[in-house]
Every structure is written in structure tokens, then in C-alpha cells.
Amino acid sequence: MALYLITGGAGFIGSHLAEELLRRGARVRVLDNFSTGKRENLAGLGPHFELIEGDIRSYHTVQQAVREVDYVLHQGALPSVPRSINDPITTNEVNVGGTLNLLDAARDAGVKRVVYASSSSVYGANNQVPKREDMTPQPISPYAVSKLTGEHYCQVFSRTYGLETVSLRYFNVFGPRQDPQSAYSAFIPKFAAGILRHQELTIDGDGTQSRDFTYVRNVVEANLLAATAPGVSGEIFNIACGARLSVNEVATHLAQLCGTQARLVHGPSRAGDVPHSLADISRAKKCLNYEPQVGAREGLAQVVAWFQNKFAVEGRSS
């Protein structure tokens, strides 16, 4: 029974990974310091689950976490472009220093492969669409720089030390368990929750900016494929749906799903934002056998249903 380490496993994506791996019969170890992850995301995961509470910036902690591990799914990071603009130092310490700690410890521990969560933000000022992996990255935020640096470290550890790595560039992942409350919350959970609560919501800029919104189940499947696919060490893959919606379209569709009018206002454009993002996913399809299972509109319906259930439970318990 393979043992997987998920860094950041109490977070949104990490907890979905843990749940699916356990469902498939693997053993799962999670490393998380709960700075953004939540304990409730790990509730009821059963006997083949183990938690190490700690920080990837601690080399000793990371050494402990990788012992006897077969595969690492490295989700641990400080997310958010705005957060990185406000605090680039901490973003670098966690996302770059923490990744280097993990790669070095994984090499010494004989880990079979590290799958690294990168980001479409690395494309940055490169306005060409769709985004292909062979394009020159032009990051415009500290977060994007940190993610691109992690990719480079992964490739160096593959080429120089023989540690197998695969980097996955996520495109605007969304789904259940995303926190709508944080100042750095992603757009979809904030708007889904806000529309259901009849709150006034602010769209950054004119709302015509478009994204390749990617439901979390697709990202989970991509990670599991990337962990064991042959002949892909050192490679980088876009993980998305290969289709895009504008922010205005998503807000309108969420309101329709909620059965109510959205109270929307427009604010200034967000620093470090890019106008349009769309992935070419042909390499992931060819090399990983990746195929997105859930489209953006179906995923939005799943998110609204999840929030409706969550609010109903909270209402009954209050």
C-alpha cells in the first residue's frame, strides 16, 4: 500500500487529494501548519491517515514527514497574488524555501516522485492565449516568481540529483471547501457565498477578464496521474479545462444557480492581475492521459449546492 505525503493537506486542494487517495486504498500522511488549512477538512479520514502538524520552512519537520514516503504531492504554499504583493518576503520563505527543503529531504529519503503544485500565474505578462508550457514565463507578482522558482528547483533536482519531479500549472482551481471569508479568498467561493447571503459584491475591474476555471476534481485526477505516469520526470504540464469564462459570466451564472439577483459593483483592477488566461492542455492529455471530467459550469453548480447545504446546516445548529 503506497504512502503519499500531501503538504498543505488540510487546505482546499490538499484535503480533496487526501480524501480521494484514501478512497482508492492508499495511505496518506499530511503535513500542515494550519496557517490557511482547516482541521475540519481532515475530519473522519480513517485509520490509514496520519497528520504531522508543522511548517515546511522547518527542515527537521520536513525530514520527519518524508520518511518511508513513496510519493509527495506538494500543495503546501502561501497562496494568493495580492498576499504576495503585500508580503513578498514571507511568500518567498514558504514557497521557495519550503519547496527547497522538501526536495532536498525527499531526495535523501528515496522518494519515488514529487508532484509540485505550480500556477498559471507564471505566464504573467505573456498575453498570448492559449498558454503553452513552452512559452517564456513573464511573472508579474512575487507569488508567480515563487512558483516559477519552485519549478526550476524541481527540474534541477531531477536533472542533477535524479529525484523524479513533475510540475503542474493549475489554472484558477475552485470547488467545495474554499474559504469565502479570507481577505485573499478566490473569486468563486466569495461570490457564491455572497450571492446566497444577498451581500453587495465588488468585481475587480470591468469583469471582462477571463479565466480557465478548473474544478478541483480535475486537479485531483491530474495529481494522481502525474505521480505514476512513466517518462515524465522533470516535465511541466498545464492543468485546466481548456475553456474560459469571463468574471462577469461567472457572476451571472452563479446568480442564476442561486435563484436570485446578484448585487454587483465594480472596483479598480487588481495589481498583478492578467487580463486573460486560457490553457492549452494537449501535453497533459498526451503524456499524463489527463482528461478534465468536470466542466466549469457543472463545477459552479456543485459549489453552489455545497454552500447551500453548509449554510442550511449552520442555520439548523445556530
Q: Which candidate in 143, 153, 215, 290 is catalytic?
A: 143
123 is catalytic: no
Residue 21: all three cell numbers together: 487517495
Backbone angles phi, psi at 116, to 5 degrees: -105, 130
- Compute the residue count for the chain: 318
Backbone angles phi, psi at 246, to 5 degrees: -80, 160
| Residue indicated by cell numbers 500556477 | 119
The residues annotated with a catalytic role in the active site are: 143
